[in-house]
Amino acid sequence: MKLGFIGCGNMASAIVGGILNSNLCAPADITASDVNAAARDQIKEKYGIQETSDNKEVVSASEIIFLAIKPQFTANVLSEIAPFLTSNHLLISIVAGKGLDFIGALVGNNIPVIRTMPNTPALVGEAMTALSPNENVTPEMLETAQKIISSFGKSEVIPEHLMPAVVGVSGSSPAYIFMLIEAMADSAVAEGMPRSQAYTFAAQSVLGSAKMVLESGIHPAALKDMVCSPAGTTIEAVKTLEETGMRSSIMKAVHISAEKSRNL
């Protein structure tokens, strides 16, 4: 399996790391390009893959190509590589806000394209990634794409119209969780706990709580009720969070993020 990456940023690096850690292919089978020489040097030094400044070289050397660039550069890059793409290639885009119709109009309607939205926990192998294939993607191609993406986290196939919801609830949400961890740790510090210990307590609590949701099959509201003893400390804290609008603030943040993605 020959893989290519156009763009060598943090997300591309995380994906390459997941692929190599899962032994899906060898470093010699991966070629990456970037306009930034430092970014190319860094990913080559870290993983031993092939690097180039020529996007067309990536296409020629690869069967599956990850498009990992900023939205504002997408049109120019796709127009550049379009003449070299064939129906035997699979183009996997992780570009935010650029849909299958936009990509298809630039590369041709016969090219297999999967639009994806991973998130930054890919850096630690715990990403949540959505995939939306176009009509040219075969079941075998989709299975291969999911196998690759599962090397750095979990994945779900969704209809493309749900992609803005994914941006809000998954793509952007690590920032919300980091803010939550920071706020919890700050409060623990105010109560006298050393900061490094406070971050450990807060982060592990978030990790464990998320694992309970994923593995128990119990509704989050029921899990919350299990922690809230009558007249106890937790129900008093939950009451305060409801009074200060935590739930509505999170819902609004997810909506704003989704709406922004529609307008990129």
Q: Within the chain, how many helices (H) and strands (E) appear?
A: 12, 8
**Given the DSSP bridges, would you call strands 153-157 and 3-6 parallel, antiparallel or unpaired?**
unpaired
Q: How far apart are CA 167 and CA 120, in angstroms?
A: 12
**Given the DSSP bridges, would you call strands 113-117 and 127-133 parallel, antiparallel or unpaired?**
antiparallel
- The band of 102, judged by pLDDT with boundaries at 50, 70 and 90, is very high
Look at residue 97 and tell me whether its pLDDT is greater than 90: no
- The band of 123, judged by pLDDT with boundaries at 50, 70 and 90, is confident
The pLDDT value given to residue 22: 87
What is the per-residue DSSP string for 32-81? EE-S-HHHHHHHHHHH--EEES-HHHHHHH-SEEEE-S-GGGHHHHHHHH
The pLDDT value given to residue 12: 93
- Amino acid at position 124, single letter: V
Annotated domain spans of the chain: 3-160, 171-262
Q: Are 1 and 62 in contact (CB under 8 A)?
A: no
User: What does the pLDDT average to over 73-84?
Assistant: 96
Enumerate the β-bridge partners of residue 156.
130
**Given the DSSP bridges, would you call strands 64-67 and 113-117 parallel, antiparallel or unpaired?**
unpaired
The pLDDT value given to residue 44: 94
User: What does the pLDDT average to over 232-248?
Assistant: 96
What CATH superfamily is the domain 3-160? NAD(P)-binding Rossmann-like Domain (3.40.50.720)
The pLDDT value given to residue 27: 96
Please provide the CATH number assigned to the domain covering 171-262: 1.10.3730.10
- Using left for φ > 0, alpha for ψ between -120 and 50, and beta otherwise, residue 39 falls in alpha
Same fold, 3-160 and 171-262: no
pLDDT digits (tens, 9 = 90+) for 22-60: 899 999 999 999 999 999 999 999 999 999 999 999 999
Angle value at C-alpha 128, between 198 and 247, nearest 5 degrees: 60
The pLDDT value given to residue 198: 98
Look at residue 262 and tell me whether its pLDDT is greater than 90: no
Q: How far apart are CA 117 and CA 23, in angstroms?
A: 23
State pTM to two decimals: 0.89
